[in-house]
Amino acid sequence: DMVRGLVQRIVEHPDGFDGEIVFVDNVQFKAVSDCFRWQTHTNSESRSLNYRDIIEDFSSQGYKISGYDWRTSNWRSGGLDVVTDPDDHFTDTYYHDPDNLSEHYPRFTTEHGTRVNFRHGIWTGSEYDNSRLKLINLPMLKDHQYKTMITACLKNYMGVIAPSYGDPWKIEYHDNFQYKVGKMVGGTRFPDLNILDATWVITKDGPEGYATNAVEVGTLIAGVDPVAVDYHAGKHVLFPLSSNNRHHPDNSNNLHTCLTSALTDLRSAGYEVMPSLEDSSYTLLTNQTLDVGMWRLY
């Protein structure tokens, strides 16, 4: 529901919209035919609505909108198709720089023929135009029992890097994710906007989670700084629901380690993120959580 509302806001921009919108995801273990939550029944309030319906609806109105499962560019006989040729501008693959473990990201072609390099931007035929590619990071807030303790804006980058499932370079980000996430974000693409969906929040047994553990909160948490959004979400949304100390970023836990490491690495790379893990050190969109109802259009 919220995704459809977001697309509507984009195409109705006061200055007009003549670009292209692409839904991207790495669905990992799902069958490709069932990928990207294009099933008949989804987790939206409108149970008949899924991502493919949204794409077809806006496409019928003349907008360029499509979806891409990154796994289709990296899933080959049970493993990743990972290449080290930075000058390959045409093959859908994951690029890997052997000298920089942070540079590990997808390169793909949309249904409308646009060549996208997640790190460097849009291929024009002679060079990459980085200014033409904008990234909206759109995760769902839930518990995560391993490494980061919550799934939110930073953890969502695990689906960008895709560090396992047959990777021949054995990039062990899974083992050190709470220490490496800042390098992963800074070394690939810093989001232009983060919108954390807290309409329903899974409070325990993540990352899989169960519907019985979902609590309706009805809010969105948005901001440019992914560290700040995650800090706010853990401390002021998830922890009050769960009372689980692993969700409180001020405690000595993996979430605190993850956020501290991320802000240090991102600030060192020149990105403007919160300087310290304190409530007074960050600003969200309008400095508050947003009622998700304002994004629903029906």
Residue type, 97: D
255, 74, 52: which is closest to 159 by C-alpha?
Answer: 74
Instruction: Please state the rounded mean pLDDT for residues 183-190.
Output: 89
Residue 294's pLDDT band, with cuts at 50, 70 and 90, is very low
Identify the pLDDT of residue 45.
Answer: 63
How far is the C-alpha of 150 from the C-alpha of 231, rounded, in Å?
10
Cβ neighbourhood burial of 226 (10 Å; 0-12, 13-18, 19+): buried
Tell me whether residue 286 is exposed, middle or buried, using C-beta atoms within 10 angstroms of its C-beta: 0 to 12, 13 to 18, 19 or more: exposed
* Nearest-angstrom CA–CA distance, 152 and 86: 30
Please report the DSSP string for 124-146 in residue order. -SSSEEGGG---EE--EEEE-SS
Please count the CA atoms within 13 angstroms of the CA of 178 that sit on its side-chain side. Answer: 16
147 against 119, higher pLDDT: 119
The reply to whether omega before 207 is within 30° of 0 (cis) is yes
Percent of the chain with pLDDT over 90: 49
Packing angle, helices 2-11 and 51-60, rounded to 10? 20
When comparing pLDDT for 2 and 203, which is higher? Answer: 203
Going by pLDDT thresholds of 50, 70 and 90, the confidence category of residue 262 is very high
DSSP-derived letter for residue 76 is B
Is pLDDT at 74 greater than 50 in this prediction?
Answer: no
Q: What is the DSSP string of 214-242?
A: EEEEEEEEEES-HHHHHHHHIIIIIHHHH
- Best mean pLDDT range from 38-52, 131-145, 155-169: 131-145
pLDDT confidence band for 73 (50 / 70 / 90): low
pLDDT in tens, 215-250: 999 889 999 999 999 999 999 999 999 999 999 999
pLDDT, position 161: 65
Tokens 């400095």 map to which residue?
287
298, pLDDT greater than 50: no
Look at 148-152, 216-220, 291-295 and tell me which has the smallest mean pLDDT. 291-295
The amino acid present at 226, given as its one-letter code, is P
CB 192 within 8 A of CB 136: yes
- 3-12, 28-37, 49-58: range with highest mean pLDDT: 3-12
| Secondary structure of 81-109 as H, E, C letters | CEECCCCCCCCCEEEEECCEEEEEEEEEE
Q: What is the pTM of this model?
A: 0.87
- pLDDT above 50 (res 169): no
Confidence of residue 79 (pLDDT cuts 50, 70, 90): very low
User: How high does pLDDT run on average in the chain?
Assistant: 81
**Residue 182, H or E segment:** helix 173-187
